[in-house]
Structure 1
Amino acid sequence: TALISGFSSLPWLVKPLYGFISDSFPLFGYRRRSYLVLSGLLGALSWSLMATFVGSKYGAVVCILIGSLSVAFSDVVVDSMVVERARGESQAISGSLQSLCWGSSAFGSIVSSYFSGSLVDAYGVRFVFGITALLPMITSAVAVLVKEQHVPGPTRGQNVLLANPSFLESSRENIIQLWNAVREPNVFLPTVFIFFWQATPQSDSAVFYFTTNKLGFTPEFLGRVKLVTSVASLVGVGLYNGLLKRVPLRKIFLATTIIGTAFGMTQVLLVTGLNRQLGISDEWFAIGDSLILTVLGQVSFMPVLVLAAKLCPEGMEATLFATLMSISNGGSVVGGLLGAVLTQVFGVTKDKFDNLSSLIILCNLSSLLPLPLLGLLPEDDSEIVSNENVDIEMKSN
């Protein structure tokens, strides 16, 4: 299981590479549409093989790796399409586009969480794999309808790299443009904030072991919690889109960080058993806690997506957005590692939880540390638009 999980995550580690390929090398005359169709076909192939022929763990690893590559590549392409459509728009419009995408993702997660377990019990694993194979095919079919300007490519029989040096020149220019974009203060400084905001220590793993080994939460109950968190993600997206998409980014980060820190402390009640003294069972408390924290987490993450989309220059949408998201994910990895170190320092193990309350308190308080860096973010939407106009003027000159 660990081997399969590790291999499935590999394609997600090089998302900027997919963005660079999509930006620099049009496929059949299109930078987005063709790669989206190809990703869907790869995903359908991998899950079809899982539903029919695959019978060994090595075959399963290969198919899951291909399926993960399909999802990661299509994720980059779709992100770039959203960035292209959000360029020049207000923060509210950009927020609506991101809300539509992440709301759709949350809705899909709700459907899969609700039906996957029952379908496996009723019809078996291979039947579910077969159903899963149909979904990437739908993606490929819908991708054909995407409106995109045709990009002239090499003539038939020519080698893309050798016979058409413009592709090499374009690739070189894209690398230079990416480097110049990342060095721009209006891109670099917000990226620094996003990294440190994600890099604070996390106690999730220790709390997970406590709920399973100490409280005895079953996989079935954890599946229900997963369903609740999927619904909470959809609620968070709707809350942001309906009420917060016009609120300045600094205010959203400040409010969600402080409120999230306060509600994160409620896990101490679960660890110490105070929730039972208040007449709330462990199960209901865990569900309510996950619901609130997921809503806050989704509300606070939406501005990250909006900000990243607004920072991407023309022609580098896929590459730079994927790079910014990779930096954000890198911050999360650092936060997980710091949390693991603190877990060791406090002597918390999968069977020993004496200092878990102290660990939770410290990790939650550390979430406040990036707040002094809020000044690195643009003050309001007009500042972002102004920076975009400067970039356009520089390109024109």
Structure 2
Amino acid sequence: MNSSPPANPFVVRDDIDIVVNGGKGHVLDSAREKEDDDDDDDDYDYEGGGGTGGTGGGGVNRPRRIRRHRGIGGNVDHPFEMIPTTEEYDECHDYRDDDGMTCVEIGGGDDGDGDDYRDSGTILPEFVYHYLYPPNVPRSCQLYRIENIAIPSCYLLVGILQGLSGPFANVYPLDLGASEAQQSTISSLKSLPASFKLIFGFVSDNLPLCGYRRKSYMLLGWGMTSISMFALLAFSDLSSDAASSSSFAASAASSTRQLGGDMMRRYANDEGGGGITTTITMDDGVYRTLDVRGDIDQSSYDGVGPPSIPLLSICLLLFGTGFWFADVMGDSLVAERAKLEPTSSRGQLQSSCYACRFFGLMISAPVGTLIYGSSSIYLGPRGLVLLMATLPACIVPLVLMLGETRNANVPSTKDQCREIWNTVCSRAVWQPMGFVYLYNVLQVGNAAWKQFLKTVLGFTSNQLNSLLIVAYVLLWLGIMAYKKFFIHWSWRTVYVLTTSLNGLLSSLQVLLIKGMTFGLSPYLFALGDDAFADFIAGIQFLPTTIMMVHLCPSGSEGASYAMFTTVNNSAGNLAGAVSTLLLGVWDVSKGAMELGNLVGMINLTWLTTAMQMSGLLFVGLLPRTKEDLAKLHVDPMSGSKIGGFVFLFVTFSSVLYSLIVGVLNIVKPGWAGES
């Protein structure tokens, strides 16, 4: 054997096997000769953990033997069994496996490394300890280790902030009296940074900050998120009374503009009450006075009032930038570690992280609504923003403890771009991602459905909100169901089954339109229909994300995973645009519904159901399993430059579309017809 590790740590050698016990392993010569245990120079040390602490996997008593195969990105022998190197050399121990192969065990549970339950000194019961630190996975994939806990915490925080920011970003501008155009601008500014996820990932891949590619940028992202909300608190009054007065003033000003004619407007200060009154003289000589701020204690407005629309927009822009930056870092860390999972637990890492995310969303959405609607002086918009500012700061200590190699070798930008290009040209990428895009584009919903629930069935705002909350709960349950029951199913089987069930549920909407609810109230019938649809969506969510992680080339996980998720999300955006266009095919207006004309609603429901079911026509593009995905790399059609070009064209066109729409909403409010 050579006396030093090869220059390329993932060089393909047919004469070696790798044995990993928990977190570490060595390259072994397949010759039956037994190497001297004391000669560390004769063995290459590999680290399956990747985090600090380095050794062990929770007390594994037998090492795992990994055969190496050529992988997608060209850097690893198998896309799902990548083992990066480390410069550390540990004492190894011989082990002869069942077929007589001489193997080497590194840092096993019996070596006193603290990962074995007997040596850990923990007070936890053994079953709890093994649940938190599964003994059959590398240390870096054990999410609840102190050096990894920042990863699930990041996903949890992403879900919580999504749930909390919803009521604030969507409702608070209305309370300030923002016009529809201004509301569109605020919404675009908050979501605009999502279009730059690819750039965020590329920057972290190529430009380490303070020696770290992920940790420093995650701190930067959450710091920006927290500071933006603290700034909003510091430079404005977010009390409910302040927002109400601002909205009333805006309404009064709008009223004076819209009365028109020979009307005379006169503004005067009510010096006695310290308020502001608007006195309007109409053509008929009747005086009408609107008290804008007469009932508000003006002492609270000495230099600080409710936030202006520009200030609110800037703060939400910074909030969104930090939020998405940190989110991309979390995805990158998971993409790196997911490749180290053993065959028996592949997908568990991602499913656990996304379960944290949707759990946070499920809990925070109703909590955020309750906090925002509270009349308490300590809650309301002010309390909600304070919570949104404080939570990102709480994760900082966990991020500081995140295990990541400092000053690791980073491939040049040119090499990373070449690697990404080779990856997207692979049939293992453009074929399954083509299915993802086509399938999601065809998931066109009935855009008139909520109007039907409100106008025809008389659903209240609370009932509509409860549908959303239940949807979040069922979405999380769908994630957990896939993690528990379907994770080893064929991807095609999952999509065929869930799409068929979704088509059945969508067709049941026709029964609700016709009033056939089998004795159930319309609310319960709609609740069951919508809830199970989101449960199915939760089951469908994980197979594609697991697939996308294993398509990422080593060293470029940030940019490549962001690119794949961009394709996925852009297809959903296009489906939303198509659903809006279909509103003009039949008369599904509010007026038609009020007159009892529901023929258009029935036809539109059948059309959208058929479009959703048609996604099954392309299921043949989806590999059955991860193993089939790996085989596509060596397919004769792999390496197609046309496939790679089409993939990148769709990706960057989608990003450009999002940017154009976002910028137009900002620089030219109302371009889409808003008032």
TM-score w.r.t. the length of structure 2 is: 0.53
> What is the rounded CA distance, in whole Å, between the counterparts of 2:217 and 2:484 in structure 1?
33
Higher share in helix: 1
Which stretch shifts more, 251-260 or 380-389? Answer: 380-389
> What is the rounded CA distance, in whole Å, between the counterparts of 2:408 and 2:477 in structure 1?
43
1:202-241 alignment, distance < 5 Å: 202-241=444-483
Deviation of 1:350 after TM superposition, in Å, equals 4.0
Question: Is contact 1:47-1:130 (8 Å) kept?
Answer: yes
* Residue identity in the other structure for 1:45: I
Partner SS, residue 447 of structure 2: helix
Alignment size in residue pairs: 375
Match of 1:299 in 2: 539
Decide which of 368, 374, 378 is 1:116's aligned counterpart.
368
Higher share in strand: 2
Match of 1:200 in 2: 442
Match of 2:521 in 1: 281
> What is the rounded CA distance, in whole Å, between the counterparts of 1:290 and 1:91 in structure 2?
35
Match of 2:207 in 1: 25
* Residue identity in the other structure for 2:317: L
Distance change in 2, residues 1:350/1:49 (3 Å)? farther
* Residue identity in the other structure for 1:344: G
Question: Is contact 1:25-1:31 (8 Å) kept?
Answer: yes
1:1-397 alignment, distance < 5 Å: 1-54=183-236, 55-89=307-341, 93-120=345-372, 121=374, 122=376, 123-151=379-407, 170-200=412-442, 202-275=444-517, 278-353=518-593, 354=598, 355-385=600-630
Question: Is contact 1:43-1:67 (8 Å) kept?
Answer: yes
What do you get for the CA RMSD once the two structures are aligned? 2.2
Partner SS, residue 572 of structure 2: helix
Partner SS, residue 311 of structure 1: coil
Deviation of 1:389 after TM superposition, in Å, equals 10
Distance change in 2, residues 1:216/1:90 (3 Å)? farther
| Unpaired segments ≥5 residues, structure 1 | 154-166
* Residue identity in the other structure for 2:570: G
Question: Is contact 2:444-2:578 (8 Å) kept?
Answer: yes
Deviation of 1:386 after TM superposition, in Å, equals 5.2
Distance change in 2, residues 1:46/1:370 (3 Å)? same
Deviation of 1:7 after TM superposition, in Å, equals 1.5
Question: Is contact 1:51-1:127 (8 Å) kept?
Answer: no
Question: Is contact 1:86-1:93 (8 Å) kept?
Answer: no
TM-score w.r.t. the length of structure 1 is: 0.89
Match of 2:97 in 1: none
* Residue identity in the other structure for 1:147: G
Question: Is contact 1:201-1:337 (8 Å) kept?
Answer: no
The percentage of counterpart residues that share the same residue type is: 27
Match of 1:156 in 2: none
* Residue identity in the other structure for 2:365: S
Question: Is contact 2:207-2:213 (8 Å) kept?
Answer: yes
* Residue identity in the other structure for 1:170: S
Deviation of 1:67 after TM superposition, in Å, equals 0.8
State the 4+ residue runs in structure 1 displaced beyond 4 angstroms.
385-390
Distance change in 2, residues 1:314/1:187 (3 Å)? same
Deviation of 1:28 after TM superposition, in Å, equals 0.8
Distance change in 2, residues 1:107/1:336 (3 Å)? same
> What is the rounded CA distance, in whole Å, between the counterparts of 1:48 and 1:111 in structure 2?
23
Question: Is contact 1:16-1:319 (8 Å) kept?
Answer: yes
Q: Which gives a bigger RCO, structure 1 or 2 (Cα 8 Å, sep 6+)?
A: 1
> What is the rounded CA distance, in whole Å, between the counterparts of 1:307 and 1:5 in structure 2?
31
Partner SS, residue 266 of structure 1: helix
Question: Is contact 1:91-1:246 (8 Å) kept?
Answer: no
* Residue identity in the other structure for 1:364: T
Larger Rg: 2
> What is the rounded CA distance, in whole Å, between the counterparts of 1:370 and 1:345 in structure 2?
21
Which stretch shifts more, 18-27 or 207-216? Answer: 207-216
